[in-house]
Amino acid sequence: MSMKGNKYGSHRVIEPQGVLTQAAWKIDNDMTKRYSNEIICNVTSLNIDSASFTQIEEACGGDETKIGEMIMGIVAERGKQQNPVTGSGGMFKGEVAYIGEDLLAKPDFDLKVGDKIVSLVSLSMTPLKIEKILAIHKEIDRVDIVGQAVLFESALYAKMPEDMSEPLALAALDVAGAPAQARKLPKEGDSVLILGANGKSGVLCGFEAMKKVGPKGKVVGVVRNPKQVAGLMELGVYTDVVVADCTKPVAVMDAALAANNGEEYDLSICCVNIESCEMSAILPVRDGGKVYFFSMATSFTKAALGAEGIGKDVEMIIGNGYTKNHAQITLDVLRESEKLRKLFDEKYV
């Protein structure tokens, strides 16, 4: 009989004691330890979250060897892939290698050894051991590895769908929390502003928001590169796309309001993977409106004090990567939209 661990994984915390694995500096990634309520997976790919990969890539000057060394170094030091600058992680794809007996005894447990799954919890809290890095795909933030990872009893995961390729499912599930919130937050007739409109989470949010706001609503995307406008309009996930630098809030507000008949927005969604975009998400939103920060580059301090400083009474929502049925909702977007599926197949696989 193997030992039983804490449901949330605190038995794997090395330092500091008393916190959970996400907040811990160092966690135990010894895969020879078998707990009765853990799953151990053989990992084939890591999708590093966009804010984290961008930071690592810039720190390494784009050099793939150095990027690999930095990732190996972080995991060796901390027992997990948690970027020490951004604090964020990513997710993994792998195959189930071990299931503890307490999990197998649960009547609703749906996994077996050999199942291919994607983790839906952050690598910033997941015990991970990397034996070697096989390939780095800079353009899609993916790292192919030989390694192992642990999922705790409370962890979320999704089985690989049978009607799409593994890389396609991984690319979509990497941002599963975003489109599910874009379905939940707006109502019919609302105006929605999406910053970082050209990225994975941006286009998925646009698709869901367009369905929700209906023909009387507006979904406006913000991009920095004017060359992206035509392609995004062709996708049909925005009513308008404007060009502005999301680190320059006044420029974003001017462009965004011009696209909405001079009126402020009911909701903005920030999907930008760089710092200092908080005020660009807050400034164009009306009093009583909502701002959803999906980006892991968001600073709570900048958002809270910035909104206060300009006298904006808006509801600000932290981008919780989980909302009910988020994996199903996200994969269904790719099943519903041939254009988005084609885009993901061409760009992120």
Model confidence over 119-140: pLDDT tens digits?
A: 999 999 999 999 999 999 999 9
Average pLDDT of the residues in 147-160: 95
pLDDT at residue 1 in the model: 65
Task: Give the residues across from 293 on adjacent strands.
Answer: 270, 318
Integer Cα distance of 340 and 300 in angstroms = 32
Cα 162 to its chain centre, rounded Å, is 22
pLDDT > 80? residue 251 = yes
pLDDT > 70? residue 261 = yes
pLDDT at residue 2 in the model: 82
pLDDT > 90? residue 322 = no
pLDDT at residue 323 in the model: 84
Instruction: Classify residue 30 as left (phi > 0), alpha (psi -120 to 50) or beta.
Output: beta
Integer Cα distance of 52 and 139 in angstroms = 13
Domain ranges of the chain: 10-160, 177-347
How far from each other are the two terminal CA atoms of the chain, in whole angstroms? 42
pLDDT > 70? residue 156 = yes
The candidate with the shortest Cα–Cα distance to 233, out of 195, 259, 204, 198, is 198
Task: Please report, for residues 16, 141, 169, 204, 335, the alpha-carbon distance to residue 349 in angstroms, rounded to integers and kept in the order given.
Answer: 38, 11, 9, 16, 16
Residues 6+ apart with CB under 8 A from 103: 36, 37, 38, 39, 109, 111, 153
Integer Cα distance of 303 and 160 in angstroms = 36
Condensed to tens digits (0 to 9), the pLDDT of residues 62-105 reads 999 999 999 999 999 999 999 999 999 999 999 999 999 999 99
Q: At what angle do helices 166-173 and 338-347 cross, to 10 degrees?
A: 100
Percent of the chain residues topping a pLDDT of 90: 92
pLDDT > 90? residue 158 = yes
Condensed to tens digits (0 to 9), the pLDDT of residues 176-204 reads 889 999 999 999 999 999 999 999 999 99
The candidate with the shortest Cα–Cα distance to 174, out of 155, 198, 194, 199, is 199
Q: Which CATH superfamily is domain 177-347 in?
A: NAD(P)-binding Rossmann-like Domain (3.40.50.720)
The model carries a pTM of 0.86
pLDDT at residue 324 in the model: 84
pLDDT at residue 320 in the model: 79
